[in-house]
Amino acid sequence: MVNEPANVSLLESRGIRPTSSRLLILRQLTGSDEALSMADIERLLPTVDKSTISRTLALFLLHRLVHAIDDGSGSLKYALSDGDEEAADDEHTHFACTQCHRTFCLKQVHVPVVDLPEGFSLQSISYVLKGLCPECSTKAKVSSQR
């Protein structure tokens, strides 16, 4: 695989030992333009045990290699983090398509600054927009023109 040395380096830079299963899971995450649920990864990697996928995602979260997205679907989705291992959360917008149920990181769309009332202390931000992704939006326009 072309990106294998880069993926090995990425894991090692985060203090994660690069095993074959971890590299397979990382390859799926780096090769996807959308966030993936554990079930998505299980479907993509049928030879990797479900518990191995679960432990690997937990390890990747712990080392801030990925971030988890609660898009309201009932399953967490996972995407690569922005690269700053000190950042508590990736402060960008997520978009959940209500038609195809895919979730995307919109890294160019920053989460708005919120001025909290006195006494409130912010610990994390989850900013999810919902609507139609470009593909589903195009399909909807085509079908409405018929």
Find tokens 């995602």 and name the residue.
57
Q: What does pLDDT average to over the chain?
A: 90
DSSP classification of residue 73: S
User: Average of pLDDT values for 94-117?
Assistant: 92
Q: How far apart are the first and last CA of the chain?
A: 44
* Integer Cα distance of 76 and 55 in angstroms: 14
Host H or E run for residue 142: helix 134-144
Radius of gyration of the chain (CA): 17
Pick the CATH number of 4-144 from 1.10.10.10, 3.40.30.10, 3.40.50.10860, 3.30.980.20: 1.10.10.10
Residue 53: which residues within 8 A CB-CB, separation 6 or more?
21, 25, 38, 41, 42, 45
Q: Kindly list the domain boundaries of the chain, sorted by start residue.
A: 4-144
**Structural tokens at position 58:** 């937990």
User: Average of pLDDT values for 91-95?
Assistant: 89
Looking at the chain, the whole-number percentage of residues with pLDDT higher than 70 is 92
Give the tens place of pLDDT for each residue, 9-30: 999 999 999 999 999 999 999 9
**CA dist 130 → 26, 92, 104, 118, 146 (Å):** 26, 14, 10, 30, 26
Q: Which of 3-7, 40-44, 73-77, 89-93 has the lowest mean pLDDT?
A: 89-93
**Structural tokens at position 77:** 């989705």
For 117-136, give one letter per residue: b (16+ CB within 10 A) or e. eeeeeeeeeebeeeebbeeb
Give the tens place of pLDDT for each residue, 107-132: 888 888 889 999 999 888 889 999 99
